[in-house]
């Protein structure tokens, strides 16, 4: 017993000695004699780090004695590295001089790789968007904030606040969206809602273009978008925060967000509340578009700590969105919008009254709308185990979606589904061995979907179990960085028989597991099936020099069919489509080859990325016909579509040329171009339909972007970091579309001109008081329709008096954004 007491005392003494260390690394970060505000200083391969204050000063406290490598980084500067020896009870002072650079190849990314990796070492195409870049643009939602700066990224939209991200022509369940590493699980198959993430709380976004199934499993066959929230880095022992306000002139969007952060002795906490409210947007052709107003509220919080053994954080978010549902109904002569007052299928277009000007210009959400709620609770943990490390992510999220589509009983939801998801992700990074970095991991989810008190049932109640394991290897051989690995996934779906029967109390349908009488209809026959797949990748980066790179990667992606593709059998009232699944589907498998060249020269940056992607068992929607060739109508006034499978091919290129003359440091001329072509390889369908079936749906046209930016390095009185920018967005005509059954139609090309400026206003002590950003998009109020705008096809008439069909995109939109730090 005495031995145990003695060992315990020794152990406690050692622990107290370790945590009682008061070693410190401090310094000042400057560039050309001026402080670099808010730069990041970290000790590589540890959890110790700090953010500099406005004067460039930083302190890293409680550092155990030992030898470290200090890394200092800031946007627009070359990375600084220095090895330091820290002795017991010592304060190490270091003065850091940063040099300006447009080269971001040494930026560290965490998405699409097994561990934090320099961007230059990844053979996969990865793009990074900082908060600074996102703040410069007019953003109606978080997807818009990213796609404006990443070639090859686009979005299918249903109004300004609903954007579904597409990467190189693939979207929905083929693009995996992450929030700080945890996969975003809602009803991704739906068109009428966007991504449930607060745009004001995101510090950076990382986009992987191409299959990332190796790390993330099914649903990452097109790529990954990881939205990374802010983690406190400010001075210790002080509350840090910001208030952001924003206003848009087109739809009167009012946005406001406030955040607080606290950091002391390794403990970090942050809280944010954000809200947005908007009226219907407008354009020259349609005026105000009825049914596009929205009201959104977001809450987020995190807390946790970093110690010498690692870190542990807990995150919680709440998302609540009231989003109107446009249907495009109008008066045939005046083209003014009308509203539904009778039940669908019982009214005639003539029975719909005109929408008043008051109802068009209001922040009040109309009775026919949807409510989307998303709750997220998860923990991220990182443990240092000798020279290796273990990361573990565990989370729960709930998505609740209601569509109120009954005008005579507006409080009765039509669609009412609740999705509960349990996520897990565990991986171990082995100690580096002779230059070889290796990682093993396992991740997946358990999911339960339930139809609640709704009247429409497009998908069944189901259970899903998903699990996958992978091995990832990375090694540098001289000038060549090689990485790759292999993964195996399995996903199981199951549900019991489910019946639909009229509820005599309400007159609407209800979903039952056991029928109550003979009038019940078997809507969803039972289903129990497993899908399995092997994915992997192998790639290399050849460092021609420090500034010139060649990249090549080949990857095999895997995706199991989603719930609507195999199990749907009902009306989605918001889409006005009856979806029918196919229970015999096989998983999708893609084989993609990427090649890229990147050059960061003294006066310009240049990049060229080429890709070719062939997909077996590609799933798409097609109109359903009977044996006589007539369209099948299950619900009057709504189309009927059934999912099909065939081979497909997508190929294209993305290029950028950014000029930043070293002799004219205040000038930058940035240009990008993206080209994508999607081919349908269904020979039988092409033989019947001809060119109408030759191409895939939702393929964006050629997209070019050019920006001329003037940045003033010198302070102008109380102003600093002042810039002016002029931009043109060019979209080519899309004449290569999926035209079977007029699913898509040709889209004319257009160009949008944008102007913007911004500055930081300082007080007399040179400390920032606030930032202000001014931006005007679509300066000349051009009337246009994006081929990825679903509202383009919301049309009730074969012809219209003005020759225009469908709904047009947003017209001129000015915005002002003010960010006040404290």
Which CATH number fits the domain that encloses residue 563? 2.40.170.20
Asked whether residue 84 falls in the same domain as residue 221, the answer is no
pLDDT, tens digit (0-9, with 9 covering 90-100), for 706-734: 999 999 988 888 999 899 999 999 999 99
pLDDT of residue 5: 53
Question: Which distant-in-sequence residues (6+ apart) come within 8 Å of 492 by Cβ?
Answer: 464, 465, 466, 528, 529, 530, 531
How far is 327 from 323, CA to CA, in rounded Å? 13
Can you spell out the DSSP letters for 41-72?
Answer: EEETTSS-EEE--TTSEEEEESPPSEEEEEEE
How far is residue 651 from each of residues 72, 422, 610, measured CA to CA in Å? 39, 35, 8
- β-pair partners for 382: 311, 391
Q: Give me the domain span that covers residue 479.
A: 213-821
Which CATH number fits the domain that encloses residue 47? 2.60.40.10
Confidence of residue 756 (pLDDT cuts 50, 70, 90): very high
Q: Does some domain include residue 157?
A: no
Lowest-confidence pick of 208-222, 343-357, 694-708: 343-357
Element (H, E) at 377: strand 369-385
How far is 60 from 39, CA to CA, in rounded Å? 13
Residue where one domain finishes, among candidates 37, 71, 101: 101
Which of 597, 592, 589, 588 has its CA nearest to residue 612? 592
pLDDT, tens digit (0-9, with 9 covering 90-100), for 468-488: 999 999 999 999 999 999 999
Name the region of 307 (left: φ>0; alpha: ψ -120 to 50; beta: rest).
beta
> Is pLDDT at 102 greater than 60 in this prediction?
no
Residue where one domain finishes, among candidates 57, 72, 101: 101
Which of 141, 166, 158 has its CA nearest to residue 192? 158
Q: Does some domain include residue 198?
A: no
Asked whether residue 95 falls in the same domain as residue 219, the answer is no
| Residue that has been written with the tokens 């269904």 in this structure | 682
Asked whether residue 454 falls in the same domain as residue 574, the answer is yes
Residue where one domain finishes, among candidates 101, 117, 136: 101
> Is pLDDT at 597 greater than 90 in this prediction?
yes
Q: Does some domain include residue 171?
A: no
pLDDT, tens digit (0-9, with 9 covering 90-100), for 186-222: 988 777 788 899 999 999 899 999 888 888 988 899 9
- Contact predicate 441/428, CB 8 Å: yes
User: How many CA atoms does the CB half-sphere of 272 hold within 13 Å?
Assistant: 31
Lowest-confidence pick of 4-18, 298-312, 482-496, 619-633: 4-18
| Residue that has been written with the tokens 């393929």 in this structure | 699
Lowest-confidence pick of 136-140, 400-404, 616-620: 136-140
Which of 555, 540, 534 has its CA nearest to residue 479? 540
How far is residue 306 from each of residues 45, 61, 381, measured CA to CA in Å? 13, 11, 10
Per the structure, the count of domains in the chain is 2
Confidence of residue 748 (pLDDT cuts 50, 70, 90): very high
Q: Does some domain include residue 441?
A: yes
| Residue that has been written with the tokens 């004001």 in this structure | 200
Query: Vertex 534, ends 531 and 537: CA angle to 5°?
Result: 145
How far is 697 from 620, CA to CA, in rounded Å? 8
| Residue that has been written with the tokens 């709704």 in this structure | 454
- β-pair partners for 451: 417
- Contact predicate 205/146, CB 8 Å: yes
Q: Does some domain include residue 292?
A: yes
Name the region of 7 (left: φ>0; alpha: ψ -120 to 50; beta: rest).
alpha
Asked whether residue 610 falls in the same domain as residue 463, the answer is yes
Q: Does some domain include residue 499?
A: yes
DSSP state of 688: H
Q: Terminal CA-to-CA distance of the chain, rounded, Å?
A: 56
Q: Does some domain include residue 81?
A: yes
Asked whether residue 71 falls in the same domain as residue 220, the answer is no
Q: Does some domain include residue 437?
A: yes
Question: Is the pTM here over 0.95, yes or no?
Answer: no
Q: What is the 3-state secondary structure (H, E, C) of 571-634?
A: EECCCCEEEECCCCCCCEEEEEEEEEEEEECCCEEEEEEEEEEEEEEEEEEEECECCCCCECCC
Asked whether residue 220 falls in the same domain as residue 87, the answer is no
- β-pair partners for 276: 255, 296
b/e string for 64-87 if b means 16 or more Cβ within 10 A? eeeebebbbbbbebbbbeeeeebe
pLDDT of residue 531: 97
């Amino acid at each position: 017993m005495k031995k145990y007491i003695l060992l315990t005392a020794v152990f406690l003494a050692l622990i107290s000695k370790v945590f009682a260390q008061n070693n410190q690394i401090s310094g000042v970060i400057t560039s050309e004699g001026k402080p670099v505000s808010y730069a990041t200083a970290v000790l590589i391969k540890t959890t110790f780090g700090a953010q500099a204050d406005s004067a460039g000063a930083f302190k890293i406290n409680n550092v155990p004695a030992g030898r470290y490598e200090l890394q200092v980084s800031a946007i627009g500067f070359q990375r600084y590295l220095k090895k330091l020896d820290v002795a017991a009870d010592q304060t190490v002072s270091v003065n850091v001089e940063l040099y300006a650079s447009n080269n971001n190849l040494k930026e560290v990314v965490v998405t699409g790789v097994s561990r934090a990796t320099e961007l230059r070492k990844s053979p996969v195409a990865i793009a990074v968007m900082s908060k600074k870049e996102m703040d410069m643009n007019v953003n109606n939602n978080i997807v818009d904030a990213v796609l404006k700066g990443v070639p090859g990224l686009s979005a299918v939209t249903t109004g300004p606040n609903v954007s579904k991200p597409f990467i190189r022509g693939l979207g929905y369940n083929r693009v995996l969206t992450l929030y700080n590493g945890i996969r975003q699980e809602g009803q991704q198959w739906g068109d009428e809602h966007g991504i449930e993430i607060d745009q004001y709380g995101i510090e950076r976004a990382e986009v992987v273009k191409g299959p990332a199934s190796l790390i993330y499993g099914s649903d990452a066959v097109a790529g990954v978008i990881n939205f990374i929230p802010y983690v406190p880095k400010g001075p210790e022992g002080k509350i840090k925060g910001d208030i952001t306000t924003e206003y848009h002139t087109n739809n009167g969007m009012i946005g406001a967000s406030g955040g607080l952060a606290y950091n002391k002795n390794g403990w970090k906490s942050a809280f944010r509340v954000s809200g947005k409210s908007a009226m219907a947007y407008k354009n020259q052709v349609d005026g105000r578009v009825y049914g596009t107003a929205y009201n959104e509220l977001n809450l987020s919080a995190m807390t946790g700590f970093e110690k010498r053994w690692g870190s542990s954080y807990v995150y919680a978010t709440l998302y609540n969105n009231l989003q109107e549902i446009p249907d495009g109904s109008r008066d045939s002569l005046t083209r003014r919008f009308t509203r539904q007052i009778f039940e669908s299928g019982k009214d005639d277009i003539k029975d719909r009254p005109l929408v008043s000007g008051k109802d068009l210009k209001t922040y009040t959400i109309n009775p026919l709308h949807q409510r989307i709620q998303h709750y997220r609770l998860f923990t991220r943990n990182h443990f240092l185990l000798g020279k290796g490390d273990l990361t573990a992510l565990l989370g729960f999220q709930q998505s609740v979606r209601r569509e109120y589509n009954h005008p005579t009983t507006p409080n009765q939801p039509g669609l009412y589904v609740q999705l509960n998801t349990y996520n897990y992700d565990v991986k171990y990074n082995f100690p580096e061995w002779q230059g070889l970095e290796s990682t093993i991991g396992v991740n997946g989810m358990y999911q339960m979907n339930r139809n609640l008190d709704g009247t429409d049932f497009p998908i069944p109640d189901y259970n899903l179990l998903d699990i996958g394991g992978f091995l990832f290897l990375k090694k540098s051989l001289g000038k060549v960085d090689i990485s790759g690995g292999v993964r195996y996934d399995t996903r199981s779906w199951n549900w019991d028989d489910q019946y639909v029967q009229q509820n005599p109390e309400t007159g609407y349908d209800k979903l039952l597991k056991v029928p109550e009488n003979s009038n019940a209809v078997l809507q969803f026959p039972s289903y129990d099936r497993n899908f399995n797949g092997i994915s992997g990748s192998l790639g290399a980066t050849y460092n021609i020099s420090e500034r010139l790179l060649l990249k090549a990667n080949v990857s095999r992606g895997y995706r199991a069919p989603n719930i609507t593709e195999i199990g749907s059998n009902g009306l989605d009232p918001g889409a006005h489509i009856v979806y029918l699944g196919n229970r015999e589907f096989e998983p999708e498998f893609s084989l993609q080859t990427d090649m890229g060249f990147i050059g960061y020269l003294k006066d310009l940056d240049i990049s060229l990325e080429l890709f070719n992607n062939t997909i077996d068992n590609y799933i798409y929607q097609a109109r359903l016909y009977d044996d006589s060739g007539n369209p099948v109508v299950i619900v009057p006034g709504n189309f009927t579509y059934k999912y099909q499978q065939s081979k497909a091919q997508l190929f294209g290129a993305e290029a950028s040329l950014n000029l930043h003359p070293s002799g004219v440091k205040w000038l930058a001329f940035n240009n990008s171009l993206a080209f994508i072509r999607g081919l349908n390889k269904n020979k039988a369908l092409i033989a019947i339909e001809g060119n109408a079936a030759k191409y895939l749906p939702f393929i964006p046209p050629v997209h070019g972007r050019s920006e001329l930016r003037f940045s003033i390095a010198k302070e102008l009185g109380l102003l600093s970091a002042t810039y002016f920018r002029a931009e043109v967005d060019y979209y080519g005509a899309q004449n290569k579309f999926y035209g079977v059954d007029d699913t898509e139609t040709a889209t004319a090309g257009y160009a949008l001109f944008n102007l913007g400026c911004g500055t930081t206003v300082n007080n007399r002590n040179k400390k920032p008081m606030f930032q202000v950003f001014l931006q005007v998009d679509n300066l000349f109020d051009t009337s246009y329709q994006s081929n990825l705008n679903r509202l383009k096809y919301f049309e009730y008439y074969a012809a219209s008096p003005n020759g225009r069909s469908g709904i047009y995109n947003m017209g001129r939109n000015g915005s002002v954004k003010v960010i006040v730090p404290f």
